[in-house]
Amino acid sequence: MMNLVASPLEQFEIVPLFPVMEAGGYVIFFTNSALFMLFAVTFGYLLMNVGTTGATLAPNRWQSLAEGIYEFFVGSVVETMGPRGVQFFPFVFTLFMFIACCNLLGMVPYSFTPTSHIAVTWSLALAGFLAVNVVAFRDHGMHFFTFFVPKGAPAALTPFLIVIEVISYFIRVVSLSVRLFANMLSGHCLLKILAGFSWTMLSLGGIFYILQLAPLVVVWAVVGLELGISLLQAYVFTILTCMYMGDAINMH
């Protein structure tokens, strides 16, 4: 009998868990993706709550971690958005914590990574994009459209440059969402393939007991790499959102 090899893409399958409501002939389900997003919110809340409850002058490990993350992003917000950007710190901090927790929870065996789906990353990028535009029109009104007119450009080239600027402005949503989605998808696929290869060699027995150590070592190395990438991609997504919002506030 031929052995069936599980596809590395099976781990990204959306599984309906139970129906929530019915509207217009369609049934809305609570899925495994929604469940792990709920886990991510809970994990992030507990992390910050444990770190800040009963805070002391000499911080413990959890307090040091919570305060370190907080101070790092306060500094990042001020650096990229200016002093006026502090008012948007709650949004920026929440965005980072949610993405980071989703990415890290996805590293747990038999779990699910919500950020490996373009629908989730697109929604996060779109939320940031809408926030940027709301802030821009609130602070600058119709003057915000001058953002798309390059200063000092020749009059003959200005219409073409405006089109390019508008396209590059709207493409931000695509670049943010695809970058995060692609990194999470490819990293988890690589881990699944290497782990399956190592398990296959182990099941063959004999000399393969020794040979399978090579891909096994690579698997652990990739796990460490993916943990770093999970945090890095959360940071990149957040800091780019800060930069875009800084453009809207300061009209660079």
**Given the structure tokens 């821009």, which residue do they identify?**
136
Kindly tell me if the per-residue pLDDT of 137 is higher than 70. yes
Higher-pLDDT residue of 236 and 25 is: 236
Q: What angle do CA 185, 188, 193 make, to 5 degrees?
A: 120
3-state secondary structure of 13: coil
Tens of pLDDT, residue by residue over 52-67, are 777 677 777 888 888 8
- Taking phi first (over 0 means left), then psi (-120 to 50 degrees means alpha), and beta for anything else, what does residue 3 get? beta
CA distance 114 to 35: 9
| The three-state (H, E, C) secondary structure of 15-55, written as one string | CEEEEEEEECCEEEEEEHHHHHHHHHHHHHHHHHHHHHCCC
Q: Where are the domains of the chain?
A: 10-250
Per-residue pLDDT tens over the stretch 149-188 = 877 777 777 888 889 888 989 999 999 999 999 999 988 8
Mean pLDDT of the chain: 84
252 pLDDT tier (thresholds 50, 70, 90): low
